[in-house]
Chains A and B, each alone.
Chain A
Amino acid sequence: MRRLRGRTFIIGAVATLALAACGSSDTGSSASGGGLEKTTISVGVLAIADVAGLYIANQKGYFKEEGLTVKPEVLQSTQFAIPKLLSGGLDLALGNYFSIISATEKTNDKFRFVSDTFQAKNDVFDIVVPKDSPIQSVKDLKGKKISIASLNSIGELAVGSTLRVAGLDPKADVTYMPMAFPQAPAALKAGQIDAAWLTEPFLTGVQKDMGARKIADTMTGAMADFPIAGWTATEDWTKKYPKTMAAFQRAILKGQQDASADRKAVEQALPNYSPIKPEVASVINLGAYPTSLSATRIQRVADLMFEYGYLSKKMDVTPLLVPLPQ
């Protein structure tokens, strides 16, 4: 009898957990916290330097000051952020400008950028080849395989732009191999790819660990200081939770300011969300952390996408931006 009761208890406990898990989707809509429509928000992030501003804001209590609890949810790629934003599983997510602008044209989904978060700088996105590779310059990439994080993305735009400058045709002269950044170093070593388009910390990793050679910085010329990603929500969300959005914007701005003012702040934030070794964090190249959401800057992404055929017609990005109300 005792055994039976134990079993019943376990079944009951697990069933309760199951119900709790099913019902936990609308937590945090309580009214406390300075009139915010929602005090707890889930934010989709990648465990990379782009989101340092968010973690700094969390660490320093900038969100708390606004009465906001931010729950970061780690994603493998920003690709999964889109269905999660649409289903309401995420309130906000790190959205790379290319993908979101592309999705805006292709589908009827209406996304809004509420804050800029990351911008390219020198040697944050490079093309590298193995130490003993015969490839010496971008021209030598003709007929070769280059890994990029995913097809139809900022990677294609950046590598394509670099190839065009060298007189190559990105569509005909090279083969793009979609491959997640963490997998690329091994593929490069094994010869599955001839060159890899990488960002930090993988870029520093392959150069240090296997002597990989940089042949081009892809964020130069037309791509110099290129906007990479911003905090993204659906239009519905921004309309439904305007106060929550403004609170998030104010807090993230402070985090961005800290990140852009002091590289040490980023180095200290990184180990909080990625098990990166401190000695690696201290040497990687970091991009810029913009402190304003500028239509002029983001427009560059849409214009270049149109120029290279990733958009079928010109797009004005102004309606996509929701700058912090002054």
Chain B
Amino acid sequence: MIDRRVVRGAAGAAVLLIAAELAGRSGLIDPVLLPPVSTVLAAAGGLVADTEFWTDLWGTVTVWAIGLLIAIVIAVPLGVLLGTLPRAELAARPIVEFLRPIPSVALLPLVTLLIADGHSVKITVIVFAASWPVLINTMYGLRDVDPVAKETLRSFGFGRLAVLGRVSVPSAAPFVLTGVRLAAAVGLVVAISAELVAGGTDGIGAFMIRAGSGLRTDLILAATLWAGILGLAANALLVRVQRRAFRWHSARAGGGT
């Protein structure tokens, strides 16, 4: 079942790549401005042997992972709090709705002024962007908890905290993880955007700046490709975690994610 899905996915990617290559070769897209796919793939392959690129890749992965982790540490407890206390949620809603749409990259100049360390600047904007999906999913997850299960526990004399710990949080956990998956994607986007805007000692975005200054569009696109692969890998990892940890949930919901 999975094998067929992989084959189909690979076929889709291959068709897209061949179409892009043909567009380049036939002159539909100017090969000078946009190098053909084969050139980009070769450049992407070449980057594997480039230790400097590995430093950059690792730089991005580090700020991304740390940012995501801090976002989870902040947003999950906050989501649990707001999800269980409707009054607090009502009070916080205007602030959340005001802050949420602010593009975190727009905060870069401000954060750069406040924080000296380049990596911490990036982590800060990643945390800002990645917290929202986790927070919102946690809140909705808690709101969707089966009321019968809660009432049952309550009628057996369990306190509020016990109900929260035994029913609410576990049944909201799959939603939280979905939030984390969304946050991971957002976090990577923000990490690379921040590097592109603010530069830095390392990072895929910093690599792209150097490649751009050196007139190497092929390397910019090759780095883009690696960024995409990073995102895919992170998502695949989180999907696996989700399947493993919440087998009971996907069984109940009828199918995988």
Residues of A at the B interface (CB closer than 8 Å) are 11, 14-15, 17-18, 21-22, 24-25, 42, 44, 46-48, 71-76, 80, 83-84, 86-89, 180-182, 185-186, 189, 201-202, 205, 209-210, 270, 273-277, 280
| Contact yes or no, A73 B70, CB < 8 A | no
The contact of A189 among B30, B212, B213, by CB within 8 Å, is B30
Task: Mark B193-206 against chain A: 1 for CB-CB distance below 8 A, else 0.
Answer: 00011111100001
| Contact yes or no, A73 B119, CB < 8 A | no
| Contact yes or no, A87 B114, CB < 8 A | yes
Chain A hits for B82, CB < 8 A: none
CB distance from B61 to the nearest CB of A (A): 11
| Contact yes or no, A76 B196, CB < 8 A | yes
Task: Mark B94-116 against chain A: 1 for CB-CB distance below 8 A, else 0.
Answer: 00000000000000010011111
Rounded to whole angstroms, the CA-CA distance of A42 and B201 in the bound complex is 9
The contact of A14 among B69, B199, B210, by CB within 8 Å, is B69
With known contacts A18-B70, A86-B113, A185-B33, A274–B199 Cβ distance under 8 A = no
Rounded to whole angstroms, the CA-CA distance of A185 and B212 in the bound complex is 12
| Contact yes or no, A89 B115, CB < 8 A | yes
- Best-buried of A25, A84, A182, A185 by chain B (most CB within 10 Å): A182
| Contact yes or no, B211 A83, CB < 8 A | no
Pairs across A and B, CB under 8 Å, 20 listed: A21-B66, A21-B117, A21-B120, A21-B123, A24-B117, A25-B116, A47-B213, A73-B201, A74-B201, A74-B206, A83-B113, A84-B116, A87-B113, A88-B116, A202-B215, A273-B210, A275-B211, A276-B213, A276-B214, A280-B214
Rounded to whole angstroms, the CA-CA distance of A223 and B49 in the bound complex is 44
Rounded to whole angstroms, the CA-CA distance of A275 and B198 in the bound complex is 19
Task: Mark B33-69 against chain A: 1 for CB-CB distance below 8 A, else 0.
Answer: 1000000000000000000000000000011011001
Contacts A24-B117, A75-B209, A189-B33 supplied; 7 other A-B pairs, CB < 8 Å:
A17-B65, A21-B117, A74-B201, A86-B113, A87-B115, A270-B214, A277-B216
CB distance from A180 to the nearest CB of B (A): 8
Chain B hits for A80, CB < 8 A: 109, 112, 197-199
| Contact yes or no, B116 A21, CB < 8 A | no
User: What is the chain B residue whose CB lies nearest that of A15?
Assistant: B69
CB distance from B178 to the nearest CB of A (A): 20
| Contact yes or no, A17 B66, CB < 8 A | yes
**Interface size in chain B (residues, C-beta < 8 A):** 37
Chain B hits for A86, CB < 8 A: 113
| Contact yes or no, A22 B216, CB < 8 A | no
Asked whether any CB of chain A lies closer than 8 Å to the CB of B253, the reply is no
Asked whether any CB of chain A lies closer than 8 Å to the CB of B76, the reply is no
Rounded to whole angstroms, the CA-CA distance of A164 and B96 in the bound complex is 52
With known contacts A18-B66, A276-B214, A210–B119 Cβ distance under 8 A = no
Rounded to whole angstroms, the CA-CA distance of A63 and B30 in the bound complex is 44
With known contacts A74-B209, A89-B112, A25–B214 Cβ distance under 8 A = no
User: What is the chain A residue whose CB lies nearest that of B244?
Assistant: A3
Rounded to whole angstroms, the CA-CA distance of A25 and B121 in the bound complex is 11
CB distance from A234 to the nearest CB of B (A): 12
Rounded to whole angstroms, the CA-CA distance of A211 and B116 in the bound complex is 44
| Contact yes or no, B210 A21, CB < 8 A | no
| Contact yes or no, B213 A48, CB < 8 A | yes
Task: Mark B208-225 against chain A: 1 for CB-CB distance below 8 A, else 0.
Answer: 011111111001000000
